[in-house]
Structure 1
Amino acid sequence: MLAAYSMAVVSGADPSSSANVLTDILGSATLCKREEDDYVEYIPVKKRRVMEAQKIVQCKGNSALEDESQKHAVARPSLLVKVSQLKLDLPEITPSEHIVQQEKQMIEHLADRKTLMSVRELAKGISYTEPLFTGWKPPLPIRRMSNKECESIRKQWRIVVDGEDIPPPIKSFKDMRFPEPILKKLEAKGITKPTPIQVQGLPVISSGRDMIGIAFTGSGKTLAFVLPLIMLALQEEVMMPAVPGEGPFGLVICPSRELARQTYEVVEEFFIPLREYGYPELRPLLCIGGVDMWSQLEVMKKGVHIVVATPGRLKDMLAKKMMNLNNCRYVTLDEADRLVDLGFEDDIKEVFDHFKAQRQTLLFSATMPANIQNFAQSALVKPVTVNVGRAGASNLDVIQEVEYVKQEAKTVYLLECLQKTPPPVVIFCEKKADVDDVHEYLLLKGVEAVAIHGGKDQEERERAISSFKAGKKDVLVATDVASKGLDFPDIQHVINYDMPAEIENYVHRIGRTGRCGNTGIATTFINKNQIGTTLLDLKHLLQEAKQRIPPVLAELNDPVEEVDAITDTSGVKGCAYCGGLGHRILDCPKLEHQKRMQIASSRREDFGSGGYRGEF
């Protein structure tokens, strides 16, 4: 090829044709090279058979190695296999036991709150190990009582206590060493001997111990924490009189204005005889919303000993430096679980931030679920729990009647129920609009009635309650604002125009009658509009109080009986969150409502109260 190209060049041919010749030559060379690369050597048949046999032997060897590795894998199982095996080895648990385990975990998470401790105490890790010293001691014979004698008295009065070094119960006010004017005032009110919650509660509180008091409605819980508070204020005033702007020494927090005013009146009632007998003057203060703040400030300037307040107004006065808790050493949360339920938890936490030293903390309520008790005990100092009856149980002095009434017939049937007993009568409704409708209907029928709910101003609410207490009006129509702790004299009959969504509200409502040993009647209207769990709670409550169960409730299926059989011995019977006996905490409507409220609150914080607001 190169020779042909040389001859073309020597012969003087055209350069372009010479280039073409060179291109042809190079192309032929490349083709030959490709043919050499694609060349496959011929393998004889005999040799190919040997090669195939070797491949078969090699495949068998690989399969044997895989089998061996699988044997080793069985000998050494993976972590996933180990976990599965451990689960299989665990003892089998029934579905009911599984539910109980889930509930315990939920209660532990719910109780992981320390609202009753200030931010300063939590931040610095401050914890108090010993209760406050008061100097009070019971008479010597009572101090010398043996544990067996104390337990005998508690059993006689059906008192259940829990705690360390519990003071002995005392069966008379005189042995509690109250001054003469207080004893005479109690006697004038017809109170000659203490109630069960007072028999054990008064010695515990007078000793300076933190306490959780649980007792049915109308059992005298208010006096149990008011009398020791008065003695503390008197002791402080005698030792060092309060100067202008000083105080308070004791604080009572209530969930509603009406309950705060009632407690304030009880405190003021005992201050009068003390002053008449020549004891130092003690000044109380009512700190509630709906009242001019400057009038409250005028009282504060003189120096106060006891403040009875609602959380909102108290928080405002503390924030504006109109009041301080530097010397406060006694605080009571009345209807403590209701304070938490009504959304006052953050307000209470802010109030506790103003305490500068250790204080004696008391919690009282008729319905105190286990989760509230657990979280309270984590912040109290060696607390004593005094329980008279089951927390959340209804008053046994109330005859409970449940009637199935269609929604459209309730107003007409209401007049028939009013004829069961003479006045005074309280009618409870769920909604403010229903209160107004029932009130208007009764007025049209000639019934002397008044109404209160959260939509009315404070002056109108106070006027309605005072006229009803004075006997000028026969019927009070109200929402649950009147069901928490209010003490109405001689209530004969309570009518639940609407069955409340939560069984706790039902217990508080019917507790407005049958107080202080008297007998009362509670009539409740139910229909298909009620939640199934609430009706089951009502059914169990009637069974517990040995009341007649209507057929509409008796027919309800009860899914919690098997679980309750387990928890009777080792856990909480019924719901640990709201105290209802007809459902478990996993199905608690109150807990679901609280979760929805928390979600709604977090959304308001993120987007504002008016919904999403974009920034442009």
Structure 2
Amino acid sequence: MSESPTRNVENDKKREREDDDDPYKVDDFKLYVPLKQRNQQKYQKLQNIYMKKPVEEEVEEDKKDQTLVGPKANVSLIDQALEYKKKEDLEKPKTEMEKKLEEEEEILKAHAQTKNQLASALELAQGIVYTESMKTSWTPPSKIRKMSPEKVNEIRKNWHIIIEGEDVPPPIKSFKDMRFPKPLLDFLKDKGIKKPTPIQVQGLPVALSGRDMIGIAFTGSGKTLAFTLPLVMLAVEMEKKLPFIKGEGPVGMIVVPSRELAKQIYEVIVGYADCLAKDGQYPQIRPLLCIGGISMADQANTLRRGVHIVVATPGRLQDMLEKRKINLDSCKYLCFDEADRMIDMGFEEDVRNIMSFFKHQRQTLLFSATMPKKIQDFAKSALVKPVVVNVGRAGAASLDVIQEVEYVKQEAKIVYLLECLQKTAPPVLIFAENKNDVDDIYEYLLLKNVEAVSIHGGKTQEEREYSIRMFKEGKKDVLVATDVASKGLDFASIQHVINYDMPKEIEDYVHRIGRTGRSGKTGVATTFINRNCSEQILLDLKHLLMEANQRVPPVLLALDDPMDKFKDVEGASLECTYCGGLGHRITECPKLDSQRKQQMQSHRTAYENYSRGGDY
């Protein structure tokens, strides 16, 4: 049966369309294409239609196709080889060392996330961010301002000063060029301070300029002067402009972790203030000592007349602010001495509460001898365009101290102590880890007719002050103390420090031995070690001795040192990124482990209180 004419026409049109779509058609001659290949082409065409791929993606794919290896590739063979090398590095398994370094980064990152920003609660709530540093009326002399960058860098290099920050004020090598008043210069000269130390050479110009600052220098390097003199000058300037009356002040605050250190700084400021007032051209500055264990009624006269400077411990200062005895409406200067120790000792929350009383910007300074990178990064959250002034490595021991380490059995330590006292003439400072050991050593020395006094946190404020005073005045030869006397206290004449036992953290060791060898003088530090010491702290001690070119005893050299395998690893830190110890990594950090245990204990206590029905 023949097909209809209409059917034939439709078939012809269909063939024509198929021929037009045929990629193998050349003019009127059509190549043979297998059925399987034809079906595949039709499927691909339909897929492109339904997917509706954007033109940009097609162009990108075309470019990608063009970069394939081949004679028509647009990418050079070198670039292709590098790309393949990267792919291989990503695909090959990581070494144990790489895994360990990544683990350390994760630990540090996880700990950093648990720390809230160190700033005022009001500023955090309102999202207030300060972008410019505080302005002051102080400017360096023209000859200092005109110094070339090469000359500035040469001075810093000669004084071993390392700085971080932008637009850092130039270093100044004399107090006179810092434009301090003549009565103050004469007072410093009478005290034997004729020229600034490295931390003062750079730290004083930074503080006088109103810049936020982190100051790091070894113990006994003159950090106290670097933050007290600028505050005294600021207070004098404010009092000259408009005298303070009741309810006003302070202009600035210095917050420290211990009562003894607070009283020492207070006495330094009183000395500066009195020498200026005696000259007659400068007003009387009124500092206030705000610490536990003393009656504030004794300083009621200062409060009535208006306070210029407050030197305080965090707990008592917080109490004074909450009771509205003082306010921070006029406060422009805030300094934390031994800042890292304050945070480690559990004052972090008190510090935040104190900062919440600020309603405006202030100049913030943090000083310490031991400030690991982790604490620096945390501290920078409260600072505006901070300048980091570092004299030597943070946490390094003073090079003016001769460090002697001796292996002494636990039962023989108290007897051997008498032999060690013969090494130098008095005064001698003995450190012990706990209060009971301090009391035992003190009683033993009294039995042996040694003129001694003792100090620890269990004694009253009057007893602590008596011991410090008698020791400083030379009426007693030996002071036995816990670490309460290791942070910041200045005993200028001490020749010998004895560590009856090795502290649990290397930072405490650095602070302890820093009580001698101060202000350029040489001192001796003797440390007892034995099997009771942890291996981590002994490794830290070993590396600290090697860094200071001190003799390392065989017992320390015999220790298996895990840090050796990191020395040749590119990019690996050669110190603990958490505490700065040289003999261990963050994964074995005793300080981090201790803080974790404290946190777990606090959580457990909170849960137990909650389980009992909220009876706090």
Q: Does the alignment reach a TM-score above 0.5?
A: yes
Change (3 A) 1:107 1:147: farther
- Counterpart pick for 1:340 among 316, 338, 343: 343
- Which residue does 2:98 correspond to in 1? 97
1:566 equivalent in structure 2: 569
Report SS of the residue matched to 1:363: strand
1:93 deviates by 3.6
- Aligned partners of 1:89, 1:522: CA distance in 2, in Å? 51
How far is 1:299 from its partner? 2.4
Q: 2:239 is aligned with what amino acid?
A: E
Structure 2 partner of 1:461: 464
Matches within 5 A, 1:42-121: 89-112=90-113, 113-121=115-123
Aligned twin of 2:15: none
The residue number in structure 1 matching 2:601 is 600
Residue aligning to 2:183 = 181
Residue 382 (structure 2) aligned to one of 379, 383, 404: 379
CA–CA distance in structure 2, aligned partners of residues 171 and 540 of structure 1 = 33
What does residue 436 of structure 1 align with?
439
Q: Which runs of 5+ in 2 are unaligned?
A: 1-86
User: Corresponding residue for 1:227?
Assistant: 229
Match of 2:368 in 1: 365
Letter paired with 1:425: V
Q: CA RMSD in A?
A: 1.7
Q: Counterparts of 2:373 and 2:90 in 1: how far apart (Å)?
A: 34
Deviation at 1:615, TM superposition (A): 8.0
- Give the alignment of 1:8-47 within 5 angstroms: none
- Contact kept? 2:264, 2:489, Cα under 8 Å: yes
Per-residue displacement from partner, 1:555-606 (whole Å, max 9, x unpaired)?
0010122224336xx3532111111100001110100101111121223333
Larger radius of gyration: 1
Mapping for residues 476-515 of structure 1, pairs under 5 Å: 476-515=479-518
Alignment partner of 1:122 out of 98, 121, 124: 124
- Whichever residue aligns with residue 591 of structure 2, its letter is K
SS of 1:101's equivalent? helix
- Aligned residues of 1:210 and 1:362 also touching (Cα < 8 A): yes
Decide whether aligned partners of structure 1 residues 498 and 606 sit closer, same or farther in structure 2, where only a CA change above 3 A counts: same
Deviation string 1:257-292 (CA, Å, 9 cap, x unpaired) is: 000000001101111110001111110000000011
Q: What residue in structure 2 maps to residue 200 of structure 1?
A: 202
Q: Find the partner of 2:559 among 547, 551, 556.
A: 556
Counterpart selection for 2:295 from 292, 317, 333 = 292
Counterpart position of 1:156: 158
Q: What is the Cα deviation at residue 245 of structure 1?
A: 1.5
1:590 match: secondary structure = helix
Q: Percent identity?
A: 62
The CA distance in 2 between the partners of 1:386 and 1:88, in whole Å, is 40
Does structure 2 retain, via aligned residues, the 8 Å contact 1:97–1:566? Answer: no
What's the counterpart of residue 613 of structure 1?
612
How many angstroms does 1:136 deviate by?
1.0
Once the two structures are TM-superposed, the CA of residue 464 in structure 1 deviates from its matched residue by 0.4
What's the secondary structure of 2:166's corresponding residue?
coil
What is the distance in 1 between the residues matched to 2:299 and 2:270? 16
- Partners in 2 of 1:212 and 1:564 — Cα distance? 29
Cα gap change, 1:263/1:133 in structure 2, threshold over 3 Å: closer, same or farther? same
Deviations 1:382-408, CA, capped at 9 Å, x for gaps? 000000000000000000000000000
Counterpart CA distance in 2 for 1:440 and 1:612 is: 46
Amino acid at match of 1:515: R
Could you tell me how far 1:123 is from its partner in structure 2? 1.0
Normalized against structure 1, the TM-score is what?
0.84
Q: Distance in 1 between matches of 2:299 and 2:614?
A: 42
**Is 2:276 the partner of 1:277?**
no
The alpha carbon displacement at 1:87 in A equals 10
Most deviating of 310-319 and 88-97: 88-97
Work out whether 1:264 is the aligned partner of 2:263.
no
- Residues 22-62 of structure 1 show CA distances to partners (whole Å, capped at 9, x for unaligned) of xxxxxxxxxxxxxxxxxxxxxxxxxxxxxxxxxxxxxxxxx
SS at match of 2:550: coil
Q: 1:181 Cα shift?
A: 0.8
1:247 is the counterpart of 2:238? no
Q: Deviations over 1:167-203 (max 9, x none)?
A: 1000000000001111001100111110000000000
SS in structure 2 of the partner of residue 455 of structure 1: coil
SS at match of 2:364: strand
Measure the CA separation in 2 of the matches of 1:263 and 1:97: 47
CA distance in 2, matches of 1:615, 1:346: 22
Contact 1:110/1:371 (CA < 8 Å) preserved in 2? no
CA gap of 1:565–1:135, structure 2 versus 1, over 3 A, is: farther
CA contact (8 A) 1:536 1:553 kept: yes
Assess, with a 3 A threshold, how the Cα gap between structure 1 residues 565 and 485 changes in structure 2: closer, same or farther.
Answer: farther
Distance 1:190 1:502 in 2: 34
**Partner Cα distance (1:515, 1:423) in 2:** 16
3-state DSSP of counterpart to 1:401: strand
Distance 1:351 1:158 in 2: 35
The secondary structure found in structure 2 opposite 1:194 is: coil
SS in 2 for 1:343: helix
The CA deviation at 1:612 is 6.1
- Indicate if the aligned counterparts of 2:122 and 2:359 stay in contact, CA closer than 8 A: no
How far, CA to CA, are the matches of 2:129 and 2:567 in structure 1? 37
| 2:286 aligned partner, one-letter code | R
